[in-house]
Structure 1
């Protein structure tokens, strides 16, 4: 009898501990964040992804009531940062500012340290069309002049990108395929170093996104074309590739991910904050000032779009020898 009473007492104590722990979970989630959140960026400071992340962090801090720190981890065309997010503890304190297509194409092209299944997709926020830019005093004033020169001097004109497998690199490959040209690809670890290389005359052409080039357009850079379906209202004077006879439409898409397995309450809190920020006129104004187009989708719809894009990229890899 004594043993039975002791066992029952122990069971009751254990049940109380378990109940207390379960009851504490929602409370803990309600208090989150209790320490700074790191927003990882896979490129050097000064590029479009970095600037978007730094703008977003200010608004996230207001929505979440905690500190958000942007951490630059350049390397391997952004794969280093994404693999860090994939391996992070799923507690909401490590997030990633993604750049698509690299988010999808890097694991297709090579062992990248992550796959699409490693993440919680919170929301995509903006898009930034690809563009080709040259130094303001460059001899190339149009895509036609660049194409003519590239055909006359195969492999001699240098083209800088933010890394192998990024949207800038893929825009080059598509451009070469569409025009029958061959440029000398030179990868950099972010749009900031790439822009400096173009301005310094160390790269003939810079494959920067439109939003990354527009603040320097005019006295410093000449944007030869934007890879939009039609001219962006943010850059109405920049002709599209299609206007100039090159069938190329491509863009960088930027969103926020976390490690797979985020607590439901934390995921919901982050998703709601991003939804609110995307609808905030002040955030939209900041994006316009950065020549970046709004393109918000919640996590589930974004993931569905990524799944379709992944199929298209894998089909592209299977057909093109240059992607082997």
Structure 2
């Protein structure tokens, strides 16, 4: 579909869109991070398709639990949704006693998958993760992560455990904090996602490596852990990263099926819109990692990710306990 206009007419005529309903779009991170940017690049086209205004609200804190509870407690009428992250979402109920579980939400679809990557200030005495590991064997090393739970924490902990390091791992509550700390040379390394970190800064930092078996096109200067021969670190072959997805309070799909269909079909149509595609291309190559999957497949991904996080529960729980 070339643009939003054609679908807007269909949505209003067939799906009965109300152009008077304002949609709260919750982001469980502060402004400027990858999730916030993803939401704000998506809502202009989605708003046009629905004929409905989106109001983006940032609810940072608790490694996304603050925003998660805001969504959980919202009315299940289709007027509130969130862009959330996996595996942070699952980690909040696995490790932080969040009041919700996966079955307490409805899922509209995924947005993109961003692999986990390590970064360092440009003048660091190492230029890849292998070099950082050798440095950390002989020196105190501080690593910034985006949340105390989730993929960046897990990557840092698995590297630490695999090589018997004693890292100082600091939760910086979001990707923008990690990016700023790396750029300011305040930490020895930061763990983030390449797009969330923002490839516009490629010349300002050293990309130490991605927690994947193959090199990532979005940041071609960074080797993969597989390229570096670090396959002994768990999850290299599978690839460790972060999904972004759009979530509704549970009950919308059952109690308001027409509204759920309206939201899910217009959300899917966003990804076919030329203006949206142009915005994602301008956003540091976001277009290269977009990966839309529908409601049912997304729900299966949520359950699979919860099982995967449970496998590494002891690693994360020990870290949380030591804080």
**TM-score scaled to structure 1, two decimals?**
0.85
Q: Distance in 1 between matches of 2:243 and 2:312?
A: 19
Q: Which moved more, 1:105-114 or 1:250-259?
A: 105-114
Match for residue 207 of structure 1? 191
State which of 305, 309, 320 in structure 2 corresponds to 1:309: 305
Answering whether residue 273 of structure 2 is matched by residue 280 of structure 1, we say: yes
* C-alpha distance after superposition, 1:86-125 (max 9, x if no partner): 1100111211101111111221112123221211111001
Q: Is the 8 A contact 1:44 1:191 kept in 2?
A: no
Q: How many residues align?
A: 295
Q: Is the 8 A contact 2:145 2:169 kept in 1?
A: yes
Match for residue 5 of structure 2? none
* Structure label with greater radius of gyration: 1
Q: Distance in 2 between matches of 1:258 and 1:232?
A: 31
State which of 58, 61, 82 in structure 2 corresponds to 1:72: 58
Q: Distance in 2 between matches of 1:201 and 1:291?
A: 25
Match for residue 217 of structure 1? 202
Q: Residues 108 and 53 from structure 1, CA distance in 2 versus in 1: closer, same or farther, beyond 3 angstroms?
A: same
Structure 2 stretches of 5 or more lacking a match? Answer: 1-11
State which of 236, 260, 265 in structure 2 corresponds to 1:267: 260
3-state SS, counterpart of residue 227 of structure 2: helix
Task: Report which of the two has the higher share of helix.
Answer: 1
Q: Which moved more, 1:67-76 or 1:199-208?
A: 199-208
Structure 1 stretches of 5 or more lacking a match? Answer: 1-25
Measured after TM superposition, the shift of residue 186 of structure 1 is 0.7
State which of 222, 237, 240 in structure 2 corresponds to 1:238: 222
Q: Residues 64 and 50 from structure 1, CA distance in 2 versus in 1: closer, same or farther, beyond 3 angstroms?
A: same
Q: Residues 278 and 201 from structure 1, CA distance in 2 versus in 1: closer, same or farther, beyond 3 angstroms?
A: same
Match for residue 253 of structure 1? 243
Answering whether residue 212 of structure 2 is matched by residue 228 of structure 1, we say: yes
3-state SS, counterpart of residue 294 of structure 1: coil
How big is the alpha-carbon RMSD for the aligned residues of Structure 1 and Structure 2? 2.1
Q: Distance in 2 between matches of 1:194 and 1:320?
A: 19
Q: Distance in 2 between matches of 1:172 and 1:284?
A: 33
Measured after TM superposition, the shift of residue 306 of structure 1 is 1.8
Measured after TM superposition, the shift of residue 196 of structure 1 is 1.3
Answering whether residue 93 of structure 2 is matched by residue 107 of structure 1, we say: yes
